[in-house]
Structure 1
Amino acid sequence: MTPLRLICSLIAWFTLAQPALAITGSRSAPSDAVARALVTVIGPNGVVCTGTMIAPAVLLTAGHCATSQAALRIVDYAATPPRLITPRKILIHPRYNAQDMAAHRVTVDLALVQLPAPMPGKAPLALGTPRLPVVTGAPYTIAGIGSSSPSGSDVGTARAAPLVATGKPGTLQIRLTDPSTQNKRPGMGGCTGDSGGPMLEMQDGRSVIAGVVSWSTGPNFTNGCGGLTGVTPLTLYRDWLVQAARSLGAAL
């Protein structure tokens, strides 16, 4: 099967076999700088995630998106036809626990993926400087490449959604919600297709990465999307990311 047909088959499988999971309720495009940093990550069994370039050949994504190095691929849409890139190396945070993830317990859902070479047309985003405390109502933006609606099949288009922190945000996990719906009815939010995508905040006049999208719920804690978006903040883990990226030959 050619790379293009393989990519189309994987995306079709994802659309048919997975719950309708992507940034929903928003058709807003991220800024050009954010869009240039986003990449499509394909994992085992057709799972689709988002990654963010943080160095010319290193991307940040969710740990649960990168557990199989043998099957993980990055889509290069700049090639004609699009091609699949096999990573050179994957580093998952040592405190990521797949069993905790499956049981919906908090875990460090972070991973770095090293590519063989920089991707044409892509440019990295900077990691933010952690700000404490995180307060309820703090504004953030998430970005990802999932479809625009639960029944959509337009995977691969970069979208963004402005959300706010809710509940009791801390250094281990932040829950985001659409400020206009407050998890009571369907609103904007991220889902599985956007796992690994960045949570962004403004620092010194630019968008920087403050966390990584990990999970989502539907309204009122139902299955699906458009309710809550769970994020692993970089507050406690920025130093690990910097050191791990350095071990891959990248200076952040």
Structure 2
Amino acid sequence: MKTLASLFLTLIFCTSCAPVEQASSLDVTTSLGIVGGEFPDPAFPGYASIVKIQKFNRMHCTGTLIGSRLVLTAAHCLQNSVTTDFEIVFPSALKKITRLVVAQKAHPEFRRKTLVEDGVGRNGSSGDLALMLLDEDAPASAKVAKLPDQALPIDKDFMLRVYGYGTTGLNNKDGDALRTTEVTGRVEALTPTKISIDQRSGKGLCKGDSGGPIFAFENNQVILVGVTSGADRWLLKDGVLVGDVCRYFSVSTQVGSYLDWIATTSVELK
């Protein structure tokens, strides 16, 4: 851990994202990932739509297939990168099958922002979504995730399944393996385009899971309702992170809040 040089810090869940302002950020860029998770069975809901996003042949972020050549992920996963940096890996295939990225676009509203007040850090980012276009169709083993018809309502708890390629805690080095767990998520009135997950019970998301899917279950269907963004509501004492940032809260971007942008951008990229 490093001390906080100002009241601005960067806590996101990709494995190699650089801080926005290095002189004034808390560096927590060690490998992190799904907390309290298990290795998924291929029969698990949503498994076949998950992809691993590699940058320079190293684990970088997680993503979800939403079209035969389209991957939905977090906008911050694209920062300081060009399309040729990336390679997409499909865990649903029996052998390693990859695709290249030929076009990508982040949501225009995306801003990476973190606020600190009264010793609590808050994730102030917005529009943390991006689309990647693949050089060819995904393999037959992969399945396109179903998008929601609308955003989740506020002030209601939802049982969710999350997936990601990170490790299991702040100081652990067991990443680059897909894990999953079930969590309870909630959309709060102050942040209606985000899903908040309380991870204090020991289950949730961490770095390496950035861009990964948040699935809900509706009428016996698995719906992609969120995309992992980053940590939230972590404690600081004298400018130093207290404990494991992945044992506080996390936030994910509501897919249903950005359906128009996803539809329009999908056409533009093709």
TM-score of the pair, normalised by structure 1 = 0.76
Matched, 1:190 2:205: yes
Question: 1:118 aligned to 137, 148, 152, which one?
Answer: 137
Aligned residues: 228
Greater CA drift, 120-129 or 211-220? 211-220
For residue 52 of structure 1, report the CA deviation from its aligned partner: 0.3
Secondary structure of the 1:200 match is strand
1:59 counterpart letter in structure 2: V
1:159 counterpart letter in structure 2: T
Matched, 1:227 2:227: no
Q: Equivalent residue for 2:216?
A: 201
For 1:1-252, what aligned pairs fall within 5 Å after superposition? 18-27=29-38, 29=40, 31-43=43-55, 46=58, 48-67=60-79, 68-69=81-82, 70-76=84-90, 78=93, 82=96, 85-98=99-112, 100=113, 104-120=123-139, 121-148=141-168, 150=170, 151-165=172-186, 168=189, 170-178=191-199, 183=200, 187-216=202-231, 222=242, 223-249=244-270
Q: Which runs of 5+ in 1 are unaligned?
A: 1-11
Q: 1:169 to 1:128 in 2, by over 3 A?
A: farther
Greater CA drift, 136-145 or 100-109? 100-109
Is contact 2:72–2:131 with CA below 8 Å preserved after alignment?
A: yes
Is contact 1:127–1:208 with CA below 8 Å preserved after alignment?
A: yes
Is contact 2:164–2:180 with CA below 8 Å preserved after alignment?
A: yes
Q: Matched residues in 1 for 2:114 and 2:103: separation?
A: 22
Greater CA drift, 57-66 or 135-144? 135-144
Q: 1:28 to 1:74 in 2, by over 3 A?
A: closer
Q: Matched residues in 2 for 1:218 and 1:84: separation?
A: 36
1:34 counterpart letter in structure 2: G
Secondary structure of the 1:240 match is helix
Q: Matched residues in 2 for 1:35 and 1:225: separation?
A: 23
For residue 154 of structure 1, report the CA deviation from its aligned partner: 4.4
Is contact 2:225–2:254 with CA below 8 Å preserved after alignment?
A: yes
2:250 counterpart letter in structure 1: T
Q: Which runs of 5+ in 2 are unaligned?
A: 1-14, 18-27, 116-121, 237-241
TM-score of the pair, normalised by structure 2 = 0.72
Is contact 1:106–1:172 with CA below 8 Å preserved after alignment?
A: no
Q: Percent identity?
A: 22
Is contact 1:133–1:170 with CA below 8 Å preserved after alignment?
A: no
Q: 1:126 to 1:76 in 2, by over 3 A?
A: closer
Q: 1:167 to 1:247 in 2, by over 3 A?
A: closer
More helix by share: 1
Q: Matched residues in 2 for 1:45 and 1:117: separation?
A: 19
Q: Matched residues in 1 for 2:226 and 2:53: separation?
A: 17
Is contact 2:181–2:204 with CA below 8 Å preserved after alignment?
A: no
Q: Matched residues in 1 for 2:134 and 2:33: separation?
A: 25
Secondary structure of the 1:41 match is strand
Q: 1:199 to 1:13 in 2, by over 3 A?
A: closer
2:263 counterpart letter in structure 1: V
Instruction: Output one character per residue of 1:109-168: Cα deviation in whole Å (capped at 9) or x when no partner.
Output: 000001011222211101112245322433322222223455242423242332232765
More strand by share: 2
Q: Matched residues in 1 for 2:103 and 2:261: separation?
A: 16
Secondary structure of the 1:193 match is coil
Q: Matched residues in 1 for 2:247 and 2:31: separation?
A: 11
Q: Matched residues in 1 for 2:128 and 2:175: separation?
A: 26
Greater CA drift, 31-40 or 41-50? 41-50
Q: Equivalent residue for 1:6?
A: none
CA RMSD after TM alignment: 3.2
Q: Matched residues in 2 for 1:94 and 1:242: separation?
A: 14
